[in-house]
Amino acid sequence: MIIVDKYVYLFKDGNKDMASVLGGKGANLAEMMSLGLPVPNGFTVSTLACQKYYENNKTLPQDIIEEIYKTIENLEKETKKQFGNKNNPLLVSVRSGARVSMPGMMDTILNLGLNDDIAKSLLVKTKNKRFVYDSYRRLILMYADVVKGYERNMFERFLDDYKQKLNYQSDLDLDGDDMEFITKHFKEIYKSMAGDDFPSDPREQLINAIGAVFKSWNNERAIYYRKLNNIPSEWGTAVNVQEMVYGNIGTNSGTGVAFTRNPATGENKLFGEYLMNAQGEDVVAGIRTPENIDKLKTDMPLIYEEFSDIAKKLESHYKDMQDMEFTIENGKLYMLQTRSGKRTSKACVKIALDLYKEKMITKEDAIMRVEPERLEDLLHKSFRIEDLKEHTPITKGLAASPGAATGAIYFDAISAIKHHKDGEKVILVRLETSPEDIEGMHHAEGVLTVRGGMTSHAAVVARGMGVCCVSGCSDIIIDEESKCLKIGNITVREGEQLSLDGTTGNVYLGSITLEPPVISGDFKEFMQLVSSVKTMGVRANADNAHDAKMAYDFGAEGIGLCRTEHMFFEKERIFHFRQMILADTLEEREKALNYILPYQENDFLSLYKIMAGKPVVVRYLDPPLHEFLPKEESEITSLAKSLNKSTEDIIEKIASLKEFNPMMGHRGCRLLITYPEICVMQTKALIGAAIKAIGEGIKVTPEIMIPLVGSINEFTYLKDIVTKTADAMLKEANLKIKYLVGTMIEVPRATLIADEIAKHADFFSFGTNDLTQMTFGFSRDDAGKFLKDYYAKGILSSDPFKIIDEVGVGSLVKLAIDKGTSMNPFLSLGVCGEHGGDPKSVTFFNEIGLDYVSCSPYRVPIAALAAARSAIKSCDRK
């Protein structure tokens, strides 16, 4: 129980729920003690005392010192030993322990309570000179370092010189006399630095040590760690004062670390290591190779049995995999720590699932144990850890599409494709990508761009394809002529190896070994749990058979966005598409479109087949036309030739399509209004595919989505074309097929007139990429350049193209939902912007009542898990 004005708690007075006051370590020591486990006795000086220490000008207030002294008396009664009593001395460790674990960030002092007299009497008692003076010299060094802040190297140098003089290889060669000699010299070094003798009063040692650990809360590495992990600096640390137990007192003693399950694989088997006749430090220092915990079974069968019983007890008590520290002192086992163990993503999923199957936790608990982003590690290739350690990043860009890639660099799509076809693994490096690069991106292991943000073309397309991408890597200078890139004084030429980590944004020189994603049975089973809990649908953004298949395999409940423009880029079609764009008459345009029609119909049919009756939302042509035209002079000339036109005519036409602001220009429904024949062709292709699919026994309800609608007449004009075309086809086929015509809501004005639009639309799909772009007025392709200044200056805390801006863009979405459903309660509501795959945004979309999110195939499981977690949280709130 937490008591106001109480700053010091004996372990027996605390419990696991008191981590805010006792720190994680203190709370768990108290809990282990209350479970009757063998924990060395002790007490915790609370985090509140730490706060008081800072308020009191970094000194412990007298009332807290008095409380510590009082608690020592109680501890003496508990342990039947006395602090400072040479006949029966109590020696303690002083360790930090914040509310959340901050491994190695703060300071520790061991063997406190030793002085010359106590060392002598301990020697009589233990008859182990090496142990006694090893402990004493360690105390002097730790005290000098932690309490006094003296450099350790004076001590370390003396020790090294001493060992060298005697030709010793390691500390293990030092015997009892050596340790006594070293202790004597350490005291001299201490005196030469402090001007005073090393304090022989254990109470003085203790109070100074507690203050020093509090002070270490604000050392540089702790501050850095807190920043990285969002740990508030006001929390402070607690300090645990605990009776020392020794694993280095003889061959019947030892120390170790173990997990209740394998933290790498999740396997339900004790996993860990130990060292006999050693202290914790020795295990960490790696001087000796620790033994596998399994060997303890033969070394000390009774201890092993006791330990594995305790491990089971702790795991079922905490209902989670535990990471434990233990010490064996003269054949007796002591538990020094337990906490929830860190684990890989694979283990995280397996452990959550297994704990559920073992009936230790509920299905909902299991789902809440896995953070959605964790699944990302299971869905992409990654670098082999050992190999990665050998490499240092040469630069860093935006982590635009996760995964890892290694390959030879090429600076244009054509070269990338050619070399890939020759069997080489390639990385496509571009200043920025455009739809023209799609095929090249498909053939590349990874994409690296100098420009572009998280929703730039490269990022969106790469994520959709599951290709690793680092974008906006502005340190890179591309030298097109010499076909090389430069980063500072490093030059990488075409064909040389580079490695990209799309999960961190790091770029490495040379190649790094990759490991494939493993979609294990556990992962699949876990996703079944997720599906059974979530209420919001998860669809995928996919526009080709490969992506659709992947989306289906990853559990997508349909396609929420098929960007039809991507279908025009394939070899046979791009020529006719360009012919259509460059046509001078309607007749020419229709002729070109007629060539494309069967291809597009086939594409739609293959999507219907793959999705096997699940919904497929097809969005009509969206990007500005100039994106489809060639840029290189040679390509323009050859296009002119094949079109039987003059190069000048084509150049003029391309120039006439140039816009200052293409993202706000002639695109989306605006294009279809200028060229209704495109809308007719796409409708014919889609309805034609639906008729064929139905003929093959597939249930299909075509969903047609008009992009970039901002006014009601835009929508009704195009809907009229769609329905006339579709109805005529169905009449001719003598078929009654239900089809839906809906719109993207991605222009702010559409949100304001959503009620009007809903009178005519069957569904809304929020295009939050464009909606964010137009609401903020930030170009989605360029904003990355200056947004980093916004983060640095606290103007924005995150990328609004990645995590939905709930206050602004989110309010517009809510407004459109309210207005839309007030007019049409059956309106289906989805989101297909990149935010549909971001867990925080998915939570928001679930809370405001969207029917589904749609995201890139690779993010489907992540979005599904986020949706399930949000459903659980909403249930808990009710």
Give yes or no for a contact between 41 and 78, defined as CB atoms under 8 angstroms apart.
yes
Contact between 841 and ligand PEP (CB under 6 A)?
Answer: no
Q: Which two tokens stand for residue 569?
A: 């880029």
Neighbouring residues of 656: CB distance < 8 A, sequence distance ≥ 6: none
Alpha-carbon distance 206 to 110, whole Å? 11
The candidate with the shortest Cα–Cα distance to 645, out of 710, 583, 734, is 583
Give yes or no for a contact between 29 and 93, defined as CB atoms under 8 angstroms apart.
no
Query: Which of Mg ion, ligand PEP, none does residue 563 bind to, with CB < 5 to 8 Å depending on kind?
Result: ligand PEP
- Catalytic residue (one of 468, 473, 832, 855): 832
The candidate with the shortest Cα–Cα distance to 536, out of 94, 867, 309, is 867
Q: Closest distance between Mg ion and the C-beta of residue 694, in Å?
A: 30
Mask: binding to ligand PEP, 580-619, rule CB under 6 A, as x and -? Answer: ----------------------------------------
* DSSP letter (8 states) at residue 394: E
Alpha-carbon distance 62 to 43, whole Å? 18
Query: Which of ligand PEP, Mg ion, none does residue 615 bind to, with CB < 5 to 8 Å depending on kind?
Result: none
Contact between 266 and ligand PEP (CB under 6 A)?
Answer: no
Stretch that binds ligand PEP, among 208-216, 218-226, 681-689, 765-773 (CB under 6 A): 765-773
Within its chain, how far is the Cα of 671 from the centroid? 40
The candidate with the shortest Cα–Cα distance to 721, out of 663, 662, 671, 765, is 671
Give yes or no for a contact between 403 and 467, defined as CB atoms under 8 angstroms apart.
yes
Cβ count near 604 (within 10 Å): 26
Contact between 768 and ligand PEP (CB under 6 A)?
Answer: yes
Q: Closest distance between Mg ion and the C-beta of residue 667, in Å?
A: 9
Q: Closest distance between ligand PEP and the C-beta of residue 769, in Å?
A: 3
Stretch that binds ligand PEP, among 124-132, 469-477, 626-634, 763-771 (CB under 6 A): 763-771
Stretch that binds ligand PEP, among 261-269, 727-735, 766-774, 781-789 (CB under 6 A): 766-774
Q: Closest distance between Mg ion and the C-beta of residue 561, in Å?
A: 9
Contact between 767 and ligand PEP (CB under 6 A)?
Answer: yes
Task: Tell me whether residue 457 is one of the annotated catalytic residues.
Answer: yes
Give yes or no for a contact between 9 and 46, defined as CB atoms under 8 angstroms apart.
yes
How many residues touch ligand PEP (CB under 6 A)? 11
Residue whose CB is less far from ligand PEP, 693 or 708: 708
Residue whose CB is less far from Mg ion, 290 or 707: 707
Q: End-to-end CA distance of the chain: give it in Å, rounded.
A: 29
- For 57-80, give one letter per residue: b (16+ CB within 10 A) or e: eeebeeebbebbeebbeebbebbe
Alpha-carbon distance 745 to 767, whole Å? 6
Stretch that binds ligand PEP, among 67-75, 365-373, 608-616, 767-775 (CB under 6 A): 767-775
Contact between 770 and ligand PEP (CB under 6 A)?
Answer: yes
Mask: binding to ligand PEP, 289-328, rule CB under 6 A, as x and -? Answer: ----------------------------------------
Query: Which of ligand PEP, Mg ion, none does residue 832 bind to, with CB < 5 to 8 Å depending on kind?
Result: ligand PEP
Stretch that binds Mg ion, among 195-203, 444-452, 624-632, 770-778 (CB under 5 A): 770-778
Query: Which of ligand PEP, Mg ion, none does residue 183 bind to, with CB < 5 to 8 Å depending on kind?
Result: none
Type of residue at 455 = T
Task: Tell me whether residue 484 is one of the annotated catalytic residues.
Answer: no
* DSSP letter (8 states) at residue 252: T
Alpha-carbon distance 745 to 750, whole Å? 6
Q: Which two tokens stand for residue 749?
A: 């004005």
Alpha-carbon distance 541 to 561, whole Å? 5
Mask: binding to ligand PEP, 743-762, rule CB under 6 A, as x and -? Answer: ---x----------------
Query: Which of ligand PEP, Mg ion, none does residue 685 bind to, with CB < 5 to 8 Å depending on kind?
Result: none
The candidate with the shortest Cα–Cα distance to 748, out of 769, 728, 771, 767, is 771
- For 747-782, give one letter per residue: b (16+ CB within 10 A) or e: bbebbebbbbbbebbbbbbbbbbbbbbbbbebebbb
Residue whose CB is less far from ligand PEP, 415 or 841: 841
Please, what sign has the CA dihedral across residues 854, 855, 856, 860? negative
Query: Which of Mg ion, ligand PEP, none does residue 31 bind to, with CB < 5 to 8 Å depending on kind?
Result: none
Residue whose CB is less far from Mg ion, 677 or 770: 770
Contact between 703 and ligand PEP (CB under 6 A)?
Answer: no
Query: Which of Mg ion, ligand PEP, none does residue 320 bind to, with CB < 5 to 8 Å depending on kind?
Result: none
Neighbouring residues of 47: CB distance < 8 A, sequence distance ≥ 6: 20, 21, 22, 23, 98, 99, 235, 236, 237, 238
DSSP code per residue over 40-98? --EEEE-HHHHHHHHHTTSS--HHHHHHHHHHHHHHHHHHT-BTT-SSSB--EEEEEEE
Q: Closest distance between Mg ion and the C-beta of residue 54, in Å?
A: 51
Token match 């500005």: residue? 624
Q: Which two tokens stand for residue 802?
A: 């990645």
Give me the residues paired with residue 506 across strands.
396, 501
Q: Closest distance between Mg ion and the C-beta of residue 770, in Å?
A: 4
Alpha-carbon distance 878 to 870, whole Å? 13
Q: Closest distance between ligand PEP and the C-beta of residue 617, in Å?
A: 11
Contact between 464 and Mg ion (CB under 5 A)?
Answer: no
Which spans in 612-747 are helix H?
633-643, 647-657, 669-674, 676-695, 712-733
Mask: binding to ligand PEP, 717-746, rule CB under 6 A, as x and -? Answer: -----------------------------x
Residue whose CB is less far from Mg ion, 476 or 705: 705
Residues 727-766 that bind Mg ion (CB under 5 A): 746
Contact between 565 and Mg ion (CB under 5 A)?
Answer: no
- Catalytic residue (one of 419, 420, 457, 626): 457
Stretch that binds ligand PEP, among 211-219, 610-618, 764-772, 815-823 (CB under 6 A): 764-772
Q: In this chain, which of 804, 832, 850, 871 binds ligand PEP, going by CB under 6 A?
A: 832
Q: Closest distance between ligand PEP and the C-beta of residue 771, in Å?
A: 6
Alpha-carbon distance 631 to 868, whole Å? 46
Give yes or no for a contact between 512 and 387, defined as CB atoms under 8 angstroms apart.
yes
Cβ count near 330 (within 10 Å): 12
Query: Which of Mg ion, ligand PEP, none does residue 669 bind to, with CB < 5 to 8 Å depending on kind?
Result: none
Contact between 563 and ligand PEP (CB under 6 A)?
Answer: yes
Residue whose CB is less far from ligand PEP, 476 or 607: 607
Residue whose CB is less far from ligand PEP, 768 or 870: 768
Query: Which of Mg ion, ligand PEP, none does residue 329 bind to, with CB < 5 to 8 Å depending on kind?
Result: none
Residue whose CB is less far from ligand PEP, 147 or 860: 860
Q: In this chain, which of 266, 767, 800, 857 binds Mg ion, going by CB under 5 A?
A: 767
Residue whose CB is less far from ligand PEP, 460 or 741: 460
Contact between 456 and ligand PEP (CB under 6 A)?
Answer: no
Residue whose CB is less far from ligand PEP, 42 or 767: 767
Contact between 435 and Mg ion (CB under 5 A)?
Answer: no
Residue whose CB is less far from ligand PEP, 8 or 705: 705
Contact between 769 and ligand PEP (CB under 6 A)?
Answer: yes
Alpha-carbon distance 455 to 471, whole Å? 10
Q: Which residues bind Mg ion (CB under 5 A)?
A: 746, 767, 770
Q: Which residues bind ligand PEP (CB under 6 A)?
A: 460, 561, 563, 622, 746, 767-770, 832-833
Active-site residues: which are they? 457, 832
